[in-house]
Structure 1
Amino acid sequence: MTPTLSSVPEEILAEILSHILKVPDEMFSDTSEISPFAGSSQSVCALLRVCKRWLRFATPLLYGTVVIRSKGQANALATVLNALSEQNLGRFVRNLRLEGGFGRQVEDILKRTPNITDLCLSARLYSSDNISGLVAGLSLVNPTRLIVLDQRMRKNKIIAQLFCELSSCMPTWTNLTTLILSDLIIADNCDYRRDFTHSIRNSQTLQTVSLRSLPCSSASCYETLDAIASISPLRNIEIYNIIRGRPSFDINHARVTDRLRLVLRMVEPVPPNLPVISAREFVNLFIPMATASPAAVERVWRTVLWFATDESPDNVQQTKNATVARNSSLDLMLVSKMFQKLVLPFLYGYPVLYNNRSIRKFAANLIQQTSLGSLVRELRIFPADKGGKSTVSSKLVSILGRTSNLTRLIGKDVVMNLETFRILAQVAGQSLLEFRGFSLEWDLNQPAKIDSALEALNQLRIFDWDASSVVLVPGDGPTQGLPSLVTLRLKSPGLIPMLTKMKLRSLSEVIWDGYCRVTTGFLAAHGLKLTSLELPRDFLTADLKVSIFFLCPSLRHLVLHWTNGTYACTMPVLRSDEPHLWLTKLVVHKKFQGNTRKTDRIEWEQFFDDIVCDDFPALEEIQIIYQHFTWPTTEHAILQSSWVKRSNQLFNHGIRLTNAQGVHWKQRLR
């Protein structure tokens, strides 16, 4: 260890390690249906291997809170506690959370952990769970706080066995002062639940009962709460005001007795901590940058106002957000003439037009003050108004004809005629980098000609072509057009013949969208350059005469769309005549579920069987974007999940299976 680390005082080192190793009590006592520990996280055990000094400080912190979620984890902990019994590691365990039964090993764990103060037990058990060790070991501990994760709709003999043992142990736990329940446990004609309620009433030390969700408004709920309120040492019955989609408990109900009302306390969910900004006393005599030059003052304020007027255009989709952002910029312009001068380029540099009225007003401003058009850098149009397409299209000519420095033009289902498109190319062709979200229209009786427009767009890198009603004039087309194009999205086929004849020397990504079929001619012309390819619905490759991987030998990223209800691919797209050495990621979007869960599973198995891993030696990830694909969160669900089994099979080939969030499965101890 370096001298710098060795010189850190022990108290400071312990405080640093505690922030990494300690489990927050909010997570430990969480009673939600999905455990906060369900998601995979990176192990912190590596901190213990840094040096002996770190091991000495980190060991008590690591064992302070123990969460067991699988039989493998229970076996590992029991083995460590038994093998290192001389070191008595169990004395460090203060908080123990058991999210299952986990067999006989639990008794060994409870036997070796006599200092447990907080015990969290899950009653969300299946009939196949083994709680023999838990039942045998509960009498060996004496916790201060007990947390029970219950699910009232689930009933079986294993749950009954657990509640019966809790009913017999709770009156003997002399340290028990707090009981936390995920839901109110009432009789419900179940003997074991009735016995558990009686054991709560018989406790001589219980001071607080906390319900983490609102109980229902049935008579039995009020009777149960009133019975609990009769406990002599009880001080509080906390009810968290979290509604679970049912008629909720009413504190003002006639069934609420005076005795219950005295101890009842409603708890509101705690909002996330917000930063507190303390306002300093304003000094009238202080003038910021009073001795600086005017140029320096403007540079500083320009930087400040850049952040103050940042509207985050990528996130501004809703009318309300756009209005608030624009109004804040307008307010800044009223501060002073200098602010007006500095804010104006930001206000007109990145406008978001969210309805027909704002489009007309923006066009009128550009016509009235011609110098404003050169300030526009990015223009986003999200018209929320229904209809009015012709009005929007006519006003676009007035706007785009004056924005000579425009770099990005982004819309959302905005109609644009080809004449406006040609004007855009003529005016901003040397600066425009991105064009997407517009649908081009033209008179069907007049064939369209856009050769000159494509030739003028020298800097365009991202281009969406959506012009289902456009009939292009047949001809050779501009072979040198769109020299900087990197990403091309095709939503209609009209431009494909012309694009096939163009060189497009910078093209690397093509996205086929909607019902635009893939053509062999286009891929034969540009496939050598492509590194990313997205195919349309249901792997429509019938027009292809050869394999996609033969046409695109440098392909690294492939996206497939599966929109049909059944998997029927007569020409498997995931087959290569010879090993493809570059494909690293495969993404599959599936829209509909199979007719049943069984057929859905069979269809996915057939899909994965079509993937010959040896054909793609560089493949690292298969991402499935499918609403019914989620990683399981309990040990029982893990054993039943076909996704986990498939993930393990692919992992043996060096391939990670990920969900829509890009999270892959991490195998647990077994």
Structure 2
Amino acid sequence: MTESVPNEILELILRFALQVPTPTFEAWRTQRTFCGSPRSTVSDLLVVSKRWCAAGTPALYESAILRSPHQVTALASQLNASSRSKDGLKLGRYLRRLRIEGGYDGAFIKVLNAAPGITDLFLCYDLSNKDSMAGLIRAFRKISPERLFLDTVKGNGASDHVGINLSKAIGGALPTWKKLKYVTASDLFVFWPDLLREVPKFPALEHISLSSRTATTNIDGNNLEHLARIPTLKIIQIRTMGQFATPLLLHKHADPRAKELIYLGVGKHMVKLTEYPDVEVTLENPPSLPELPDKLWDKILGYATHVHDPEFLDVDEETFHRSCNWPSVASTRKAVLLLSKRFHRLGLRHMYSIPHLKSENAVETFIARVEASDELARLVRVFFIPRRVELKAPKRISAPLISLMRVDRRVRVFPDITRNVERGGAFLLESMEQDVGQDVIDPSVWAMFANLKNITLYGRCSALEGVDIPALALPTLEVLELWGCDVSMLGVFARMRHVAVHVVISRTDLALYESLPSLRQLGFSAVAAPDAVILLEVHGAKLDSLAVDMREGAGAPSVPVLDHCPRINELRIITTTAVPLGIPFLTSSQPHTSIRRLTFPSLILDRIRNFSAKAEEWDSFIDQLTEHRAKLPNLKEFCILEPFQWPVN
């Protein structure tokens, strides 16, 4: 089929498919890098034919990312074998970009010796005690890279004896790297003395890119002063400003030569330090504010009263942490409104749109004001109480929050808000996480939430009997999670079935008559699986993701839940911080060819605390997965969402 394609075209096609993308090669690692690095199968293209193999081999060996000692050894063996082959093919001559994350040893030196044409060298400092730097200086001197990347995840990898030896090896080779023009370091990288004292010996370096932390963390000597001694250096790029890397502080403390070289920012937004004023720009008697239309002042006040875009409603813990812990933010919001009557009129909606409440007293005061004023209630768009705010009792609000779009579990608004709106009215609410206790809920209220995309309900709530189920309710609902709800509430969503249609309509129009047409994720407790089957029989075929809460136990393992969800590609297993007992409903279900990812939203991995106990739990989990591995033939990923420490390398 490809015989008529010229070799030049075939090589271009294979190069596009086989080469490691630049963003992938240059990406700084995170803790998650180590649990999401499956082996690429793209090299299988080379077995199509001898012609494809010959055309694609240079592209395949152009880049190498080595994440374990085994991979380093395998590549070294392959390069050495090719150098001894009778046909004279030396694969090492193709290698241009080399990234090593683990496995500094004799095999790594063999890779360097076999690949003198390396232009991009990516070195990681999160090392193990098994790594050895013996002979590395000599091997480094045999290559001549043009770009050097220095990476660390933990920030202290260069301080142990193995890291010190790696710094010495880099420092010893620096004077010989006469083509090296560009160096960049990850956000947590630190210049330790063994490398810092050698930095002025760069023979041709022109550009070095650092984070504010790297630039200002001075262990033994001033980093910027040492960098400024490099005779060929043109740019010291500080990518982000930090506590000790503001323009004023850099003007005050940076070395005079360094000031001429420092640029702040990234890409086209880089600004030279000398273009920033070297003194605080303040006016004792500032002029009056410019005359601008209300529409423009409204935009300005929106940004002045938020730490983010005022239209950004997908707030989270980090957003509120920044706002509640920066005194200037809280004081600015109030000061802006008190500046003038005009600002109070324009800024009031921004003040109440996304309230930032940092104490229980602040929460109670806000609720009291909103309940006392329908005008203020109509301004609230997001009601979110961070976990770090301790509440003695759950909060409940009864007010016409007709503009509310997002609400979290810690403040109860549902179903009370529906009592303030006439039947047939509609809410703007898009995301709702509510603890509804044992309330009895009228199913007809769901017809009022045409914009809801996410529903999460906690508690043994039940549905009012004898009420018609709104079949066409919740047309945009994507995520439905019912944790502990009574079977009658599950039945409400199950009975949102297709409406009987007696005329011929197009497939596009048919979607308008399908209940919950947008539903893609369903969640329920494992112990409620027998009841949840009534939901799965109706909506299971449309799901992409299934969430199962195992905190109360594995439930009824005999229920073939997965058989009702043929399209899901993700299974979310919710547990305590401990390792789950197993994969729910796997033993009772048929082989599932669509599941590619197991996600653990609440699992915490810590290689320091209780490691031996958790190792035993993992053994049990892996044993079950191994026993039934054939039932998940396409499983590729484990995804852990909470902070964790993964055993590096």
**TM-score normalised to structure 2 length:** 0.55
1:268 shift after superposition? 1.7
Match of 1:80 among 78, 84, 87: 78
Question: What is aligned with 2:123?
Answer: 121
Change over 3 Å in CA distance of 1:536–1:72 after alignment to 2: closer
- CA positional deviation for 1:210: 0.7
Secondary structure in structure 1 of the residue aligned to 2:132: coil
Task: Note if 1:453 corresponds to 2:453.
Answer: no
1:371-520 matched pairs, under 5 angstroms: 382=405, 392-400=417-425, 412=432, 421=443, 437=455, 450-454=465-469, 457=470, 489=482, 491-493=484-486, 495=488, 513=524, 518=528
Within a 5 Å distance, the mapping from 1:179-194 to structure 2 comes to 179-182=183-186, 186=191, 188=193, 193=194
* 2: CA distance, partners of 1:567 / 1:2: 50
For residues 140 and 322 of structure 1, the distance between their equivalents in structure 2, rounded to whole angstroms, comes to: 54
Q: Give how far 1:110 is off.
A: 2.2
Deviations 1:553-584 (A, max 9, x none): 96668978655566899x998697xx654677
Using the alignment, how far apart are the partners of 2:229 and 2:375 within structure 1? 66
1:63 deviation in Å? 2.6
Structure 2 counterpart of 1:172, from 176, 181, 190: 176
- Equivalent AA in structure 2 for residue 5 of structure 1: V
Q: Distance in 2 between matches of 1:583 and 1:62?
A: 33
Contact persistence 1:186–1:220 (CA under 8 A): yes
Q: 8 Å contact 2:145–2:180 — kept in the other structure?
A: yes
The structure-2 alpha-carbon separation of the partners of 1:43 and 1:613, relative to structure 1 and needing over 3 Å to count, comes to: closer
Question: Taking structure 1 as the reference length, what is the TM-score of the superposition?
Answer: 0.54
Trace 1:316-331 onto structure 2 (pairs within 5 A).
Answer: 320=311
Q: 1:575 touches 1:610 (CA, 8 Å); kept in 2? A: no
Other-structure match for 1:131:
133
Structure 2 residue matching 1:412: 3-state secondary structure: strand
Q: 2:558 aligns with which of 528, 549, 561?
A: 549
| Aligned partner of residue 64 in structure 2, secondary structure | strand
Between the aligned partners of 2:255 and 2:243, the Cα distance in structure 1 is 25
Secondary structure of the 2:421 match is helix
CA RMSD after TM alignment? 6.0
Shift of 1:463: 13
The corresponding residue for 1:140 is 142
Give the Cα separation in 1 of the matches to 2:618 and 2:64: 37
Letter in 2 for 1:58: G
| Preserved contact between residue 237 and residue 262 of structure 2 (Cα < 8 Å) | yes
Decide whether aligned partners of structure 1 residues 381 and 55 sit closer, same or farther in structure 2, where only a CA change above 3 A counts: same
Task: Judge conservation of contact 1:99–1:122 (CA < 8 Å) in 2.
Answer: yes
The answer to whether the aligner puts 1:163 opposite 2:142 as a matched pair is no
Give the conservation status (yes or no) of the 8 Å contact 1:539–1:561.
no
Q: Given residue 637 of structure 1, which amino acid in structure 2 is its aligned partner?
A: V
Mapping for residues 199-348 of structure 1, pairs under 5 Å:
199-203=198-202, 205-214=203-212, 215=214, 217=216, 223-231=222-230, 233-242=231-240, 252-262=250-260, 264-270=261-267, 320=311
How many Å apart are 1:387 and its aligned residue?
8.1
Alignment deviations for residues 334-373 of structure 1 (CA, whole Å, 9 cap, x no partner): xxxxxxxxxxxxxxxxxxx999779989xxxxxxxxxxxx
Q: Give the fraction of aligned pairs with identical amino acids, expressed as a percent.
A: 17
Query: 1:243/1:2 Cα in 2 relative to 1: closer, same or farther (>3 Å)?
Result: same
Task: From the superposition, tell whether residues 395 and 530 of structure 1 become closer, same or farther in structure 2 (CA, over 3 Å).
Answer: closer
Question: Which secondary structure state, in structure 1, belongs to the residue aligned with residue 65 of structure 2?
Answer: strand
Q: Whole-Å Cα distance in 1 between the matches of residues 229 and 22 of structure 2? A: 29
The alpha carbon displacement at 1:225 in A equals 2.9
Higher Rg: 1
Deviation at 1:129, TM superposition (A): 0.8
User: Does the CA-based 8 Å contact 2:604-2:643 persist in structure 1?
Assistant: no
Aligned length: 487
Distance 1:102 1:380 in 2: 58
After superposition, what is the alpha-carbon deviation per residue over 1:438-464, rounded to whole angstroms, capped at 9, x for unaligned? 9999xx9xx99632525xx56779999
1:655-670 matched pairs, under 5 angstroms: none
State the AA in 1 paired with 2:311.
K
Is contact 1:410-1:438 (8 Å) kept?
A: no
Q: Deviations over 1:488-532 (max 9, x none)?
A: 957543737999xx9999999997858x97497x58999999979
Closer/same/farther in 2, CA of residues 167 and 271 from structure 1, 3 Å limit: closer
Is the Cα–Cα contact under 8 Å of residues 216 and 249 in structure 1 kept in the other structure?
A: no
Aligned equivalents of 1:626 and 1:178: distance in 2? 35
Sort the Cα spacing of 1:453 and 1:561 in 2 relative to 1 into closer, same or farther, 3 A.
same
**Deviation digits for residues 465-487 of structure 1, max 9, x if unmatched?**
xxxxxxxxxxxxxxxxxxxxxx9
**Cα distance in 1 between the residues matched to 2:235 and 2:453:** 60
1:373 equivalent in structure 2: none
Deviation of 1:128 after TM superposition, in Å, equals 1.8
Instruction: Note if contact 1:529-1:554 (Cα within 8 Å) is conserved in structure 2.
Output: no
Give the distance between the partners of 2:61 and 2:268, measured in 1 at CA.
Answer: 30
User: Are the aligned partners of 1:580 and 1:615 in contact in 2 as well (CA < 8 Å)?
Assistant: no
Cα separation, 1, equivalents of 2:589 and 2:575: 26
Contact 2:72–2:107 (8 Å) recurs in 1: yes
Say if 1:28 and 1:410 are closer, same or farther in 2 by CA, change over 3 A.
closer
- Determine if the alignment matches structure 1 residue 89 to structure 2 residue 102: no
Gapped runs of 5+ residues in structure 1? 273-317, 324-352, 362-378, 465-486, 639-670
Q: 1:29-87, CA deviations, whole angstroms, 9 ceiling, x for partnerless residues?
A: 55555698974363432343444444444333333333332223222322222222222
